[in-house]
Structure 1
């Protein structure tokens, strides 16, 4: 009895050892056959749609198997049978491939189609059974077998295969393997747009959908890396819809509310990209996104990158009037007014831009805060004695333009506040960027009303504009000349301009006949045309050493120059007759 029992135990051990030896060989055999079939399938011209489906299943099987190692304590006859069946199906598919390649369709075309459908169904079943083997622990991750990353010049097929392999590892692996696979996926998505297209359009929504499912994974590292991949895909207009269709918005907002600091930043970046157009605005609002974003902006512990992304999303959402109204009811204005006091420039800029967007529809906000109160806050950024940066001042200046240049009453209140003195200060003393912004604002302002032009003349803009016309940048010269032409159209300013001994001569000097068709010259000639309306103006022109510039342009048949010369000549004749009659 004891001898029989011992013999039975030895036989069982030998059988188990045989299974241990056979299982890896079945895996290797299946991998070899699958690789062979995938390779040969690309040259088959018959039944392309069916072969595309079969090839996708084969690539998925290859990825699942190449990432697998048999668990030491869970080997079973069922697993061996599964691996044998996979190898057998691969052999059968290989034979079908040979029949299709021959194009003789041995047994008939209908029979061949039926065989292809059967092979595809078997491969799909094998994929399902392998997933069950992973979940039961019979298969585990093997770090030794890794599909190498394709080089820059790799074929599309290699790129697809690598993408599928990474997705398979992310599906079947433990947390460590999932994270490594997702990091590798994010790497190729960032480096090559082809991988984004493969993930978004060639996985039957499975790739993006799978990433979205990982957003609810219990492991923070998995969530963050999946979110980063979604953020990359969302940056492409062509594929943004795939992310929304896959249901990403709700879990992304959930991460924004409850995730770690890094996860919240990634969630805000993803929402920023998803809301670059207003198509997804209502979906974000419906899932509580507005409240979550305002909470981020109002939290003193939120990092600057997180706040800036949240501000950007809210600004995009405010383009929808109903959502803007909801923001106001949810306390957006005091939150963003408080952000104006931030010590970080990037946050100040985002707050300014948001408030400008919100107050573009004054009827929605007049009960909570007036537009004038917001402008008063923004004017503090233009105080030369304040510590604000040139960038913050530029943005504040643009916001003031948007809010106050829309009506005569708003413009008059702005001028009365001392705004002109601040703008003139930056034209005289500011860095190049803020100087140009101030000049642009001046150009717009003097085109609004005669009162604005008079105020600018009284404030001393004309001498500075003449000085700016002589700078190297053509864009700056054009703006300065246009503003001067507008201001000098008012008679009071014209008299003041002519009284200065050097102004008229300087304008003539700047004409430069060699630049016949410049925009600056066009405005300068208009200035001279205004000046010729008065006797003193004509005398100043004719007495200047640079009147020859004007005469030269007239010789070149420049229309405005000829008109001015004609007016000068007419004035001289009239003066002669007046002298005779007197």
Structure 2
């Protein structure tokens, strides 16, 4: 049986395959294995024939590399077959069997690689996808490179795939647009399959690529679509991966943990325990990202039991005390989500020293935007009767005033909601008024966002119960007008009960009653009464006592 020279071309490969197929029935050792090899050789022969139909196969590097690998495997197959022609195995049975198994595995890989390459369309000579032709744009160049890399990740050996993923990482780091192009070329399912079979080093690089993709908003849904398969791989990395791999897995899980189904799966599979371990002993970066995943998971009530079982409150508060700024923000955000509507957890936070940690976080945070989670946590704690007195005594009211006037919408809204929560007593309402909360809340009434208007009107409806606060409000030139404007039924999705309640408190003053009527409240109230808005009828009746009522309702 003659082995062709390396420059004999594709036809020589076909001749070798034909010769091997013909000789296999005469082999006396490992007949079953050679029968399987014969079937794979037949498949490979068909694929090599298909290769010749593509003009691009001779110039495509992937195709050329595959043919070189096939030649090497066939050479080995010929040599092993020669040793199996007789009943006696000079090299020993175990060694020869191992060599036969190796040939079978390599042929199986070649068959699969050839199938991937043929189906990819890369061998089509259309002037765009074949190497050596001009490419019309940078986008096309990236698309071509991405397409090649996706194929390279599926064919060849470990070294080839390792080189491909290194190139992919480099490509993705350049631009978010490159990420979107690679995702469009189908890289995500290929990466998930790689996690099943690749080496430890390759697995870490694959997780790094997945984490990069997760950072591009428009690509997250493709990762989420992979479901539990990807999720389970990432959770295993959290348990046993390197520090680098754990950090990248946490980055990816931040995107995946925003769905209720995934959050439940992470909780059921021990993910919260693994994440808390990283929070305690991981690198600064991995701690921050792990806390970010926990922050997302805490949004879902189904996971709270897992947090309690793992003593998460203690770990999170410790992180607020000693973590990086991002870790602190995520830990506070997680506590805010956990305590939402749960008085037991609110009490646990206070018992573990959460109030002092919140003060330290509040006073040291460098970005107003980052403070939003702290304000939300404060709002939650203030809703608990057992806790809110402590919140007041720790000096949080003066801290709220500058936040109400900050330039970040979400922070202003959270602060106004916190004011509503803290206005549980005449003493606290008076203190907030004296501290300066009224004026910024009036300014918020004129905000663009409906949520801001509603949060401000709700806070004012609480604070204006206090007589001294009403005096402060009356000093504003625009306060009454701003409130009355919110009565307009044309302003949709705004809960007008709070606006009505605030105005009801103000019209006890004759001067304010005149201002309310002059601002056009009567026409709005007539419509709100027809809509059965709570409190509208009572306010309309109060205004009707004014002689001005008849003037402003006359058509």
The reply to whether TM is greater than 0.5 is yes
Q: How does 1:111-260 map to 2 (within 5 A)?
A: 129=107, 131=109, 148=131, 162=148, 165-169=151-155, 171=157, 173-174=159-160, 176-180=162-166, 183=169, 190-196=180-186, 200=189, 207=190, 210-215=193-198, 217-218=199-200, 220=201, 222-231=202-211, 236-237=220-221, 240=224, 242=226, 244-245=228-229, 249=232, 252-256=234-238, 259-260=241-242
Based on CA coordinates, which of the two structures has the bigger radius of gyration? 1
5+ long unaligned stretches in structure 1: 1-11, 40-58, 82-124, 136-144, 201-206, 573-582
Q: What is the deviation of 1:274?
A: 4.1
TM-score normalised according to structure 2 size: 0.61
Q: What is the deviation of 1:353?
A: 1.7
Q: Matches of 2:392 and 2:248 in 1, distance apart?
A: 44
Q: How does 1:165-564 map to 2 (within 5 A)?
A: 165-169=151-155, 171=157, 173-174=159-160, 176-180=162-166, 183=169, 190-196=180-186, 200=189, 207=190, 210-215=193-198, 217-218=199-200, 220=201, 222-231=202-211, 236-237=220-221, 240=224, 242=226, 244-245=228-229, 249=232, 252-256=234-238, 259-280=241-262, 284=266, 289-299=271-281, 302-304=283-285, 306-318=286-298, 324=304, 327-328=307-308, 330=310, 332-342=312-322, 344-359=324-339, 361=342, 363=344, 370=350, 373-383=353-363, 386=364, 389-405=367-383, 407-427=384-404, 430-432=406-408, 436-437=412-413, 439-442=415-418, 444-445=420-421, 453=429, 456-457=432-433, 459=435, 461-466=437-442, 469=445, 476=452, 479-488=455-464, 490=465, 493-494=466-467, 497-498=470-471, 503=475, 506-507=478-479, 527=502, 529-533=504-508, 537-539=509-511, 550-551=517-518, 553=520, 559=526
Give the 3-state SS of the residue equivalent to 1:169 in structure 2. Answer: coil
5+ long unaligned stretches in structure 2: 16-44, 80-102, 114-122, 124-128, 527-535, 551-555
Q: What is the deviation of 1:228?
A: 3.5
Q: Matches of 1:268 and 1:501 in 2, distance apart?
A: 49
- How large is the Cα RMSD of the aligned pairs? 5.5
Contact 1:317/1:323 (8 A) holds in 2 = yes
Q: Deviations over 1:74-99 (max 9, x none)?
A: 58667799xxxxxxxxxxxxxxxxxx
Q: 1:257 to 1:557 in 2, by over 3 A?
A: closer
Q: 1:174 to 1:527 in 2, by over 3 A?
A: closer
